[in-house]
Each structure stands twice: as structure tokens, then as C-alpha cells.
Amino acid sequence: MSKLSSLQEKDLKYIFHPCSQMKDYEKLPPMIIKKAEGLYLEDEFGNRYMDCVGSWWVNLFGHCNPRINRVIKEQIDKLEHVLFVNFSHEAAIELAEELIKVVPKGIEKFLFADNGSSSIEMALKLSFQYHQQSGNPKRTKFISLSNAYHGETVGALGVGDVDIFTKTYRPLIKEGLKADKPECFRCPYGKNYSTCEAQCFERMEKLIEENRGEIAAVIIEPVVQGAAGMKIYSPIYIKKLREITKKYGIHLIADEIAVGFGRTGKMFAMEHAGVSPDIMCMSKGLTAGYYPMAIIGITQEIYDSFYADYLEGKSFLHSHTYSGNPIGCRIALEVLRIFREENILEMIEEKGEYLRKKAQEVFEGHPYIGEYRQIGMIGALEFVKDRDNKELFPSEERAGYEIYKIALKKGALLRPLGNVIYFMPPYIITKEEIDKMLEICKESIDEYIDRRNKDK
């Protein structure tokens, strides 16, 4: 065990960290971050790290962004919180007024929650209740994609399918139907990005046809399945899905929690397909990495199904204590203003192109990289043992975790998902920093491979 600082000692004495095996901290203790600025985190020993994963996909404009810091200070001196039932406030109203201008057409009303998983729970309940009170009580099932990730609360796990999060809890979960996901890196139809017409949609189509009278909604992560390993798939798939769900009166729920707010190069990933969902969940980038908040956008039609005299029992009786918190709303409003005033979408396009070009240069022909893929400001490397047969490293080797540890020593926070190493940096990253990030990533992979081959 390395020598611990007193903060690290106390941390381990009291805290159970998320998504970790606490015993792993014996070898690599928690890093105590004292402060952060822009792309960089600084630990208690003064070491700096590039935050290449945007602190779990949330940070858009850098840490301690001066514009956002200022509005928080102003808001906190005015109104810190008020209950959101029967009460409202300027920050929420102004936010809604701005948000409506950028969400896909057809989204007309907003509900508020305080984290992504809760917004998924709400989306599922809204769709379920809509059908119950619209004369379709048999519509009780949900369809999602294999390997989907929609959060880790019990309801969200039912539409999720990432085994490490789900396995233990299966008996507890109300399992939805799963359609085989698009698998572009290993396309079973032998298509590539230019010949793909989302032929694999037939599997989803079949599942919908077989259950069509009983389905409330289909939920997807549009264009990128994030936790599955940044799997990018064709917007044609989404177009087809929109068509068939419309035809059968099934809701389409877009989980834009990870991909919304510019990540894929469009404000929302659904725009790649040019279609609108019935329900849309937003979180993560919504508050740029500052504050736990989520918003659910719905159509007027869904809203109307809940609108009735109280005694008809159609109210949506779901609340989270901190729904609509004014500080979160004020931050989200500033996020939208920054997008508009600082031409963020153009910046993403330019930097995204640079990242793509550079990443291709750095990783092209690398014997252990099966594929580099990218959309907007999400880049991902599929790390393979053998490029020709696309064989993966055995998961017991924890290659991703080992590479993570090497990269940290070199000053970059990369946090692989299994055998996928990805980049999801704040949009303010500079071209020089992109170069540096790629260089550290490549060196870390090479060092890992060297060490591994020596050990064999």
C-alpha cells in the first residue's frame, strides 16, 4: 500500500465510493482533488490531470468556468431553493423559455428531476400512465436495445442491459424486452459505414411487430450507446424506429442524457435522424458538470392526457424534493446562453475534425487498435488483442483499468469502459491539449502492451 495522506486515510475510513471495488483503493488510493480550472484537475500534491472524460461526461466548458461561477453567486444571494409544487420562480421559467427553442420540434412541456436515472423513471412512468388513461391499458411493456444503459435505479435497470450493473439485481428488476443492438464494429450483415442502411433494424422491427399491442414505449440512446463502449450507430436506425413507433402508437423515448448538449456535434443527437421523440431525457451536459439536475421534455399530446379534473385521477403524482432547484435552473440557462453567444456548435465541429484527423494519424495501423470511431466530441478506441479477428483481451486482465492507471501518472484522466478507451473532453480543450491527450493515450497503451508481453 502506498503511503496515504491524511485526507486519503479519512476518505477510506468513512466513504464507500461509487462504481468501485473498495479493495482496489489499497493499490491506488482515491485522488483528492483540491481545485480545478478549465481542462485541469489538481490534486492535493499539486499534480495536474487533463480531464479527458469531462468528469463522467458532464463537463462542457471547463472546471470553474467564470460565467457559470458568476451566475451561481448571483442566484444564491437571491433564491437558493423553493418547493416546486404550487410554486415557481424566474430561473425555471426563463430556462424553459430558452430550452424550448433548441429541443426537437414537438417537445412542448418540461418536467424537472434531479438526476439522470430519475428522469428515466419518470419517462417510463409517464408513458405507462399515458396509455393507461388513454384507453390502452394493455400497453405495459418497454423495449430497449441490448447493452443499453439508462441509469442504475431499479426501474432504469429494467430497460438497461449492461451486465455488470444488472446481473446481481435481475430477480429484483422488471425486465423489459431487448432488441439486439446495432453492432457496427462487428456488423453481422457485413456492411460498413457507407453501405449501412440499418439492415439490423429488422430485429427491432420483428420484436415490435410481435408485441405491438402491448408496448408502451421504445427507449434508446440516440446514435451513441455510451456505457456499452461508445458504440456509434446509424441515424437511419432511428428514422426507421420513429416510423414504426408512430405507425403503432408507441412512444419513442430519447435518452439524451449523455449525448445531448452538443456532444455529437448537434445540440441533440436526435437531430442526426431529423426526427423527434415523444419523450426526451436530458441531464449531464444540461448543467455543464456543475449541478445534479435533469429535465424531461414531452409532447403536448402526452401532457394533455394528464390534464383533467383532479378527481379523475390523471395527475402525474411523481416528485423529487429538489425538482426545479433555482441554482440548477440558473446554471442550465447560462449553459444555453454560452452555446448561443460563444458559437459552441461551430467550435465542436472544428475541434471534432481536428481530433478525428489527429487520432487517425496517431492510431492508424496500431497493432492493438481495432477501430477508432468518433462523432462530434466523442472519440473511442476499440482495444483488441488481435486486429484481424477483432479478439478482445480477456476481461480478467482489466486492460482498461491498467491503462487508466498508467495514463494518470502521465497527467491524463482517461477512464476506459472495458476494452474501449474514449475521449469526452470539455469543449474548451485546445488543439495543443488534444495532441497531448492523444500522445499520453498512445504511450499508455504501448507501455501496457510492453509490460504485458514481458510478463508472458
Ligand X SMILES: *Cc1c(COP(=O)(O)O)cnc(C)c1O
Q: Is 237 annotated as a binding residue?
A: no
Q: Is 446 annotated as a binding residue?
A: no
Whose Cβ is closer to ligand X: residue 270's or residue 369's?
Answer: 270
Assess 222 for contact with ligand X (CB under 6 A): no
Counting residues that bind ligand X (by CB under 6 A) gives 14
Assess 151 for contact with ligand X (CB under 6 A): yes
Smallest Cα–Cα separation from 288: which of 336, 230, 255? 336
Assess 115 for contact with ligand X (CB under 6 A): yes
Rg (CA), the chain: 22
Q: Is 212 annotated as a binding residue?
A: no
Residue nearest to ligand X (CB): 116
Q: Is 283 annotated as a binding residue?
A: no
Q: Which of 110, 149, 404, 423 binds ligand X (CB under 6 A)?
A: 149
Assess 276 for contact with ligand X (CB under 6 A): no
Tell the smallest beta-carbon distance from residue 148 to ligand X (Å): 8
Q: Which of 219, 258, 298, 429 binds ligand X (CB under 6 A)?
A: 258
Assess 255 for contact with ligand X (CB under 6 A): yes
Tell the smallest beta-carbon distance from residue 281 to ligand X (Å): 7
- Rounded Cα distance between 428 and 351, Å, is 9
Q: Which residues pair with 405 in a beta bridge?
A: none
Alpha helices in 372-429, H assignment, sequence order = 399-409
Assess 221 for contact with ligand X (CB under 6 A): yes
Whose Cβ is closer to ligand X: residue 161's or residue 255's?
Answer: 255
For β-strands 107-113 and 294-299, DSSP reports them as antiparallel
Other CB atoms within 10 A of residue 368 CB: 20
Assess 415 for contact with ligand X (CB under 6 A): no
Who contacts 269 (Cβ-Cβ below 8 Å, separation ≥6)?
222, 223, 224, 254, 256, 259, 260, 263
Assess 277 for contact with ligand X (CB under 6 A): no
What amino acid occupies position 316?
Answer: F
Assess 150 for contact with ligand X (CB under 6 A): yes
Q: Is 284 annotated as a binding residue?
A: yes
Half-sphere exposure of 137 (CA within 13 A, CB side): 1
Tell the smallest beta-carbon distance from residue 318 to ligand X (Å): 16
Contact 318, 353 (CB under 8 A): no
Whose Cβ is closer to ligand X: residue 116's or residue 352's?
Answer: 116
Give me 139's grid cell: 400497453
Contact 378, 425 (CB under 8 A): no
Q: Which long-range contacts (CB under 8 A, 24 or more apart) does 162-166 make?
A: 162/227, 162/228, 165/227
Tell the smallest beta-carbon distance from residue 255 to ligand X (Å): 5
Assess 59 for contact with ligand X (CB under 6 A): no
Assess 116 for contact with ligand X (CB under 6 A): yes
Contact 29, 8 (CB under 8 A): yes
Tell the smallest beta-carbon distance from residue 115 to ligand X (Å): 4
Assess 217 for contact with ligand X (CB under 6 A): no
Assess 231 for contact with ligand X (CB under 6 A): no
Stretch that binds ligand X, among 78-86, 133-141, 209-217, 253-261 (CB under 6 A): 253-261
Tell the smallest beta-carbon distance from residue 74 to ligand X (Å): 26
Who contacts 217 (Cβ-Cβ below 8 Å, separation ≥6)?
123, 124, 127, 142, 143, 245, 250, 251, 252, 253, 278, 279
Q: Is 150 annotated as a binding residue?
A: no
Q: Which of 218, 220, 253, 257 binds ligand X (CB under 6 A)?
A: 257
Whose Cβ is closer to ligand X: residue 7's or residue 173's?
Answer: 173
- Rounded Cα distance between 307 and 300, Å, is 10
Contact 19, 386 (CB under 8 A): no
Q: Is 320 annotated as a binding residue?
A: yes
- Rounded Cα distance between 209 and 179, Å, is 12
Q: Is 321 annotated as a binding residue?
A: yes
Residues 71-110 binding ligand X (CB under 6 A) are none
Give me 51's grid cell: 480531464
Assess 226 for contact with ligand X (CB under 6 A): yes
Tell the smallest beta-carbon distance from residue 88 to ligand X (Å): 24
Contact 278, 302 (CB under 8 A): yes
Q: Is 23 annotated as a binding residue?
A: no
Q: Which of 65, 283, 374, 419 binds ligand X (CB under 6 A)?
A: 283
What amino acid occupies position 407?
Answer: A
Binding residue positions for pyridoxal 5'-phosphate: 116-117, 255, 320-321
Task: Catalog residues that contact ligand X under the rule CB under 6 A.
Answer: 115-117, 120, 149-151, 221, 226, 255, 257-258, 283-284
Binding residue positions for substrate: 56, 149, 284, 319, 415
